[in-house]
Amino acid sequence: MQNFDYDVAILGSGPGGYVAAIKASQLGLKTAVIEKENLGGVCLNWGCIPTKALLRTAEILHYIKNAKEFGIKCEGFKVDFDKVIKRSRDVANKLSNGISHLLNKNKISIIEGYGRFLNKNCIEVTKGNNSTKVTAKNIIIATGAKPKFLKGLSPSDSKIIMGYREALLPKKLPKKILVIGSGAIGVEFASFYNALGSKVTILEIADRILINEDSEISEFAQKAFEKESIQILTSAKINKFSIKKDVINFEISSKDKNYNDSFDAVISAVGVSANIEDIGLEKINVKISDKKYILTDKSLRINENNIYAIGDVISPPWLAHKASHEGILAAEYIAGKNPKPINHLNIPGCTYCHPQIASVGLTQEKAASEYGKDNINVGNFPLIANGKALALGDTNGFIKTIFHKKTGELLGAHMIGPEVTEMIYGLVLTKQLEGTEIDLMNTIFPHPTISEAIHEAVLNSVGKSIHI
């Protein structure tokens, strides 16, 4: 029998990789993590966490600007932009150090360097001029994804063109920003920079922003953003652009109108692509999809019976919590367990713009298409009718719930408004436990809370809402 250095080696230490490592160690497997940069991957260092630190600043600034509504005068306040950026980096660094502690606590080897497959049981790890070989009985690929850029519009083309990394480390606050793409990354950066005083334009090729959200959510969000002076161009196309030293000029068409404008910063938020290049995949038996993702079976295994792949490298949605759960499942499969596979319809999505957006399951459009519009019950409740939202002075939003008319199954839930990202889990749990409309109707929600709007939306789906 061949001897291996480890039972499990994991290529990448993002939310999928480090969680898989901890779970594998808890299951009694000798485990190593291979990481070329900072522990925690893109999410912790350059995505989920530092962006939320920035958006917290934007939120506080929003309250300061509207403090007079609460009887408070805030005059002469000033934003220290350098400190805003430093705080977000400090938060990320603190959590990265925390992951190092967790891995050490669980007796997991941390191997620094760039990993490439030599064969199905061996990874060569290179750091500087040194290299070492790591062998493992099982390997998990958790290499994540990198940002996409339009041709000629990448950071290598101009210092004022930014991906998410560069947008987290600006040297100064831009005066005018063009955000290309209106998914979660795009609208979050748009919200942040707009709150701090930049003039922001969002360009979206589709006919609406936040194309993966329920159309009613998208429409509401666009109106909210425009009220905050964010310009939004949908059905848009870049016809021409020219890069100068400190500015980029654009010719844009949108809905039969032409726009000529210049910007001193551009943020590219047009999606991500899997990190599958230069990791030695040609040395193992692996299939790649037409969209350049690693293909796996339901057990997250590739064509090699000892290699698994998780997270952004295998498929959307590109969500840290999806990757983490897949990491747990992969570790359990390796340990001989029989875990329940992921139901992708039960994965929540959250966007931390202002107002916040959260959802799970089918949109109203998809539910109507799949089941027939006469076979679904749709409930809607505006936060203007919610007591807690009124007390907070933040009533801009609503809750929507969608049920199967006959079975009562919760098909989807969609929210926009204050702290909805903290509330969506309740409906995720309902879906996971196969709860019904009746179950939610019979649930007592605490008062006064914004979560009561969930109860009202459920009641509204059958015409029984109390407060509208």
How large a percentage of the chain has pLDDT more than 90? 97
* Torsion angles phi and psi, residue 228, rounded to 5: -90, 15
pLDDT in tens, 79-101: 999 999 999 999 999 999 999 99
Do the domains 6-147+273-344 and 161-268 sit in the same CATH topology, yes or no? yes
Q: Which of 110, 27, 32, 12 has its CA nearest to residue 329? A: 27
Which residues pair with residue 116 across a beta bridge?
A: 124
Name the percent of the chain in helix, strand, coil, to the closest 5: 35, 25, 40
Residue with tokens 């500015």: 247
Separation CA 336–CA 225 (nearest Å): 49
Provide the 10 A C-beta neighbour count for residue 335.
Answer: 17
352 C-beta neighbours (distance < 10 Å), count: 22
**DSSP structural state of residue 334:** H
Architecture of domain 355-460: 2-Layer Sandwich (3.30)
- DSSP letter assigned to residue 172: S
Superfamily designation of domain 6-147+273-344:
FAD/NAD(P)-binding domain (3.50.50.60)
Q: Which of 62, 354, 414, 447 is catalytic?
A: 447
Clarify whether 467 is annotated catalytic: no
CA 249 to chain centre: 30
**pTM across the whole model:** 0.95
**Which residues are annotated as part of the binding site for NAD(+)?**
181-188, 204, 271
Q: What are the pLDDT digits (tens) for 325-378? A: 999 999 999 999 999 999 999 999 999 999 999 999 999 999 999 999 999 999
161-268 to CATH, choices 3.40.50.300, 3.10.105.10, 3.50.50.60, 1.10.150.130? 3.50.50.60
- Alpha helices, DSSP H only, in 66-127? 81-105
Annotated binding site for FAD: 52, 115, 312
| Digit-coded pLDDT (tens) for 457-466 | 999 999 999 9
- Residue range 439-445: mean pLDDT, rounded: 98
Residue 464: which region, alpha, beta or left (left: phi > 0; alpha: psi -120 to 50)?
Answer: alpha
Q: Would you say residue 318 has pLDDT above 90?
A: yes
Could you tell me the residue ranges of all domains in the chain? 6-147+273-344, 161-268, 355-460
The position carrying tokens 């006064």 is 448
Note the pLDDT of residue 1. Answer: 60
- Say which residues have a Cβ less than 8 Å from residue 22's Cβ, sequence separation at least 6: 102, 103, 106, 108
Binding residues: 52, 115, 181-188, 204, 271, 312
The torsion angle over the Cα atoms of residues 77, 82, 85 and 91, rounded to 10 degrees, is -90
Query: From CA 301, how far away is CA 307, in angstroms rounded?
Result: 6
Rounded Cα gap, residues 302 and 284, in angstroms: 10
